């Protein structure tokens, strides 16, 4: 079977599908860009009708869950409404936070400015909560794991911006659009900087893991989405040079609820 360049299948049965999507794909229809490429339309060619139960940003790569029938759609959506679904994101930021763990609870207002960004608004913003943990610093960067309790648009990106450590190559929330180049952190790099290809030049945010109950059996299930090629290249190089791996056993936290 020919591989689909837009996604890989993590899990599927008669009730749900779990996909690992590439960066640059919408999860469902978007009122601001009706013609943008969509994951659901592409995946429906393989699975038939799909029902969206949550969203991740177009520029974010990683794990996405769809229901395959109305009953499963109701059951999974209810879990998201009740906030019993646990989500884990991995991201790379510029600089080194002074904190090891941080919880941000600033209220957020989606589509809060003329660039359709999510902004902090203490008057009319929606309650929002994200736990952050430093997974390790490496050269000019730091790996961070994010655990959103709520599901606001751009929540992780907006909350990280308020800490002063926006995500690498974030086109909306970071003023630094410098791509990740091997020459920036490998001392004995002897290539041609004029023609160097970036290891990564898009939003460095990946939806890595999701835990939820199966919509029919109620059995708790956990799914992980391997890093895409560009993010894996960055992880590999930083791990070799600095000994820091966000996928390592000790680079995570499990005690935040």
* Residues belonging to the active site: 57
What's the CA gap between 46 and 40, in Å, rounded? Answer: 10
Q: What letters, b where the CB count within 10 A reaches 16 and e where it falls short, cover 210-232?
A: bebbebeeeeeeebbbebbebbe
Residues in the chain: 257
- Here the tokens at position 197 are 């290809």
SS3 content of the chain, % helix, strand, coil (to 5): 20, 30, 50
Between CA 240 and CA 6 the distance in angstroms is: 29
Rounded-to-integer distance, Cα 192 and Cα 185, Å? 15
């Amino acid at each position: 079977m020919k591989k689909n360049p837009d996604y890989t299948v993590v899990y599927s049965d008669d009730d749900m599908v779990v996909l690992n999507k590439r960066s640059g794909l919408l999860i469902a229809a978007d009122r601001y860009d009706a013609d943008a490429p969509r994951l659901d339309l592409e995946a429906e060619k393989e699975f038939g009708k799909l029902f969206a139960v949550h969203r991740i940003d177009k520029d974010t790569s990683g794990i996405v869950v769809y229901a395959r029938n109305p009953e499963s759609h109701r059951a999974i959506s209810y879990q998201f409404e009740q906030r019993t679904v646990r989500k884990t994101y991995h991201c790379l930021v510029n600089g080194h936070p002074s904190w090891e763990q941080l919880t941000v609870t600033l209220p957020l207002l989606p589509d809060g400015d003329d660039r359709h960004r999510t902004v902090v608004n203490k008057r009319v913003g929606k309650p929002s909560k994200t736990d952050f943990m430093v997974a390790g610093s490496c050269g000019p960067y730091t790996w961070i794991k994010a655990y959103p309790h709520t599901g606001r648009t751009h929540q992780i990106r907006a909350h990280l911006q308020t800490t002063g450590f926006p995500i690498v190559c974030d086109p909306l929330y970071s003023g630094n659009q410098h791509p990740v180049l091997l020459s920036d952190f490998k001392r004995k790099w002897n290539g041609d900087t004029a023609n160097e290809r970036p290891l990564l030049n898009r939003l460095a945010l990946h939806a890595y893991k999701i835990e939820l109950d199966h919509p029919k059996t109620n059995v708790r299930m956990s799914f992980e989405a391997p890093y895409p090629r560009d993010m894996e290249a960055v992880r590999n190089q930083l791990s070799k040079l600095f000994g820091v791996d966000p996928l390592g056993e000790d680079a995570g936290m499990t005690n935040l609820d």
